[in-house]
Amino acid sequence: MEDKNIYVPISLESIEPVIFPDVALFIKTGGNYVLYKNSGRDFSEHDHERLSKSGVEFIFVSRDDMDVITSHMEASAGRLLKSDILNARAKAKMIYQTSINFVNDLFHNPEKTTDTNRSKRLIENLMSFLSDNPGAISSLETVMSHNYHTFVHSLQVASLTLLMHSEAFALSRDEMLDVGTGAILHDFGKIFVPQEILNKTGRLSDAEIEILKRHPEEGYLYLKSKGVLSPVALTIVRHHHERYDGSGYPLGLKNTDIPRSAQITGIADVYCTLTTDIHGNKTIPSHIAAQLMRNQMKGLFSPHLMNTLEKLVCTEDVQQFIL
Ligand SMILES: [Fe+2]
């Protein structure tokens, strides 16, 4: 019988025995998912050692258990990054592994398997590049430990930004890495925004909005002073809130004066914010989000780049209603 469950891979290295949530774990053998342990029993040091010795890299959990896994990762990532237990290399590896876990769960749309696989490959390349780039990875580490939601959101935005670039333009590998690095650090400036504002669920006051709106320029100035990002990546950090009709910030740039990769990151940013809540759950369907951006937010985004977004996130049936 066909297995209807959807499994999400979790890298073995990112699992801390005993404290890992008590959920059923599966291993993949010969294309099938086989139950390794049911809930009700801890995943022990011994389990970890045994699987690692047999060359198992990934263990799988049911998609329905991802909420509890995400909360666990959030708590343990914050704790490990702030502690001295791990050296810089191990921290970089942890960020890499956690990112891969999340990307496997992004843009879940059964009709878009090719795009999901493409997006996964793109982010894997980016993360492996970042792991060897101490300046960029430590910036990402700072984002992750300041606000986990910002980190997960940045991953989503980077995935979609890369996917849109690969769909619409023929960029070299280096150019894609530049764009991906800028997109994953687009909200770096939020490390200067207090947690209370970032995590507030109600309406922000005018003063709070003013503080929040400083993040593109502050992120840009800080990262520029560190000299770790390319000009393209810095441009994304600075201009991802500029809007096509000139109503954005910090500079109010218009139309094609806004660098293309910053425009794409801005579209990916708004789309991901509309479709996913602060806990990483899906809120509104892809086509409704695209419709909102096209109609209620008319003029804010390049119509041409909106076509690229819709091509990727909407099924063909839905596209004809949007146009
Ligand atoms: Fe932002």
From first to last of its 323 residues, the chain has per-residue pLDDT tens of 445 567 777 778 778 777 888 999 999 888 788 999 998 888 899 999 999 899 887 888 887 887 788 778 777 776 777 777 667 667 777 777 677 666 655 555 545 566 667 777 788 788 878 877 888 888 888 888 788 788 888 988 998 999 899 889 988 888 999 999 999 999 999 999 998 898 888 899 999 999 999 999 999 999 999 998 999 999 999 999 999 999 999 999 999 999 999 999 999 999 999 988 766 667 888 889 999 999 999 999 999 999 999 988 886 554 444 44
Rounded to 10 degrees, what is the CA torsion of 246, 313, 183, 117? -160
- 201: its two tokens: 């669920």
Of the candidates 75, 26, 72, the residue with the CA atom closest to the CA atom of residue 47:
26
Residue 282 neighbours by CB under 8 Å, 6+ apart = 108, 275, 276
Give the DSSP H or E segment for 39. none
81 lies in the same domain as 96:
no
CB 253 within 8 A of CB 228: no
- Max distance between CA atoms of the chain, in angstroms, equals 59
Could you say which of 64, 85, 106 is where a domain stops? Answer: 85
| Ligand 1 centroid to residue 247 C-alpha, Å | 15
117 lies in the same domain as 256:
yes
204 lies in the same domain as 71:
no
pTM for the predicted model, two decimal places: 0.79
54 lies in the same domain as 119:
no
276 lies in the same domain as 311:
yes
- Looking at residue 96, which CATH number applies to its domain? 1.10.3210.10
| Ligand 1 centroid to residue 318 C-alpha, Å | 28
- 298: its two tokens: 């008319």
pLDDT of residue 232: 96
| Ligand 1 centroid to residue 183 C-alpha, Å | 10
| Ligand 1 centroid to residue 187 C-alpha, Å | 5
Could you say which of 61, 85, 109 is where a domain stops? Answer: 85
Peptide bond into 134 cis (omega under 30): no
112 lies in the same domain as 185:
yes
Helices (H), the chain: 45-53, 66-82, 88-103, 113-131, 134-146, 148-168, 173-184, 195-198, 206-212, 215-226, 231-239, 260-275, 286-294, 303-313, 316-322
pLDDT of residue 321: 44
**HSE on the CB side for 184, CA within 13 Å?**
30
**HSE on the CB side for 188, CA within 13 Å?**
31
Could you say which of 35, 57, 85 is where a domain stops? Answer: 85
| Ligand 1 centroid to residue 240 C-alpha, Å | 7
Q: Is 278 helix (H, G, I), strand (E, B) or coil?
A: coil
| Ligand 1 centroid to residue 253 C-alpha, Å | 16
pLDDT of residue 323: 40
Q: What is the rounded CA–CA span in Å between residue 137 and residue 17?
A: 26
183 lies in the same domain as 218:
yes
| Ligand 1 centroid to residue 250 C-alpha, Å | 11
| Ligand 1 centroid to residue 317 C-alpha, Å | 31
| Ligand 1 centroid to residue 266 C-alpha, Å | 8
181 lies in the same domain as 44:
no
The count of structural domains within the chain is: 2
| Ligand 1 centroid to residue 61 C-alpha, Å | 32
CB 251 within 8 A of CB 239: yes
93 lies in the same domain as 185:
yes
pLDDT of residue 85: 67
65 lies in the same domain as 138:
no
106 lies in the same domain as 71:
no
242 lies in the same domain as 205:
yes
Domain that holds residue 73: 1-85
| Ligand 1 centroid to residue 306 C-alpha, Å | 19
